Amino acid sequence: MFLRALDQTQQLIDSVGPGQLGLPTPCPEYDVRTLLGHLLSVVHRIDLALTGGDPLTIPKVTDSPDIAGTWKEHRTALDATLTDDSILGRICKLPFGTLPGAAAIGAYTGELTTHSWDLAKATGRLDQLDDELAIQVLGMVRQFLPAEPRGGDIPFGPVVPVADDASPYDRLAAWQGRQP
């Protein structure tokens, strides 16, 4: 699932055109340009966390004149890191706590999947999303992100009500406080 989330994110990054960089996203603090910069930071933070570094040394948003190229550089480094099976049990420092590598990968799968939806929603590419990925991530997110309380130390808005037959991504976004 983690590799699918990375691949999906990369596909969406590759499809963003220059005229879309100023578009708003479902994340009120990000337009498309800053969301892309955040995704650059996320992929770099994942690799740093899995290799024993401190991901908080990476800014929340990375500025790059070549977003797709920088993503691919970080992705190549991360793919090399992922070939080491010992990372699954390695204790990793994350921005929100300390977890074994396998749990860190799960958390970052959720972040990448959700931000892929944000990017797809902003750029009109919802049809490019992998519904099976959202179904798997939604189960994890519901288990680890409580419906209440929200806000403060839990940086998500209240759960947004959606119909029972809403798409997997709409249910995932709504659980994370985004308006589908």
**Which residue range is the domain that position 98 belongs to?**
2-147
Average pLDDT, stretch 17-26? 96
Is 92 a member of any domain? yes
Task: Using pLDDT thresholds of 50, 70 and 90, give the confidence band for residue 150.
Answer: confident
pLDDT at 28: 84
CATH number, domain at 67? Answer: 1.20.120.450
Report the phi/psi class of residue 88: left, alpha or beta, with left for phi > 0 and alpha for psi in -120 to 50: alpha
Residue with the larger pLDDT of the pair 151 and 30 = 30
The Cα 9–Cα 6 span in angstroms is 5
Task: Using pLDDT thresholds of 50, 70 and 90, give the confidence band for residue 154.
Answer: low
The percent of residues above 90 in pLDDT, for the chain, comes to 83
Is 165 a member of any domain? no
Is 171 a member of any domain? no
Task: Using pLDDT thresholds of 50, 70 and 90, give the confidence band for residue 153.
Answer: low
pLDDT at 32: 98
Is 67 a member of any domain? yes
Count up the domains in the chain and report the number: 1
State the chain's mean pLDDT as an integer. Answer: 93
Is 115 a member of any domain? yes
The Cα 171–Cα 140 span in angstroms is 13
Is 31 a member of any domain? yes
Residue with the larger pLDDT of the pair 93 and 155 = 93
Average pLDDT, stretch 152-170? 87
Is 126 a member of any domain? yes
Is 172 a member of any domain? no
Say whether pLDDT at 152 is over 80. no
**Residue range 114-143, pLDDT digits in tens:** 999 999 999 999 999 999 999 999 999 998
Average pLDDT, stretch 159-177? 94
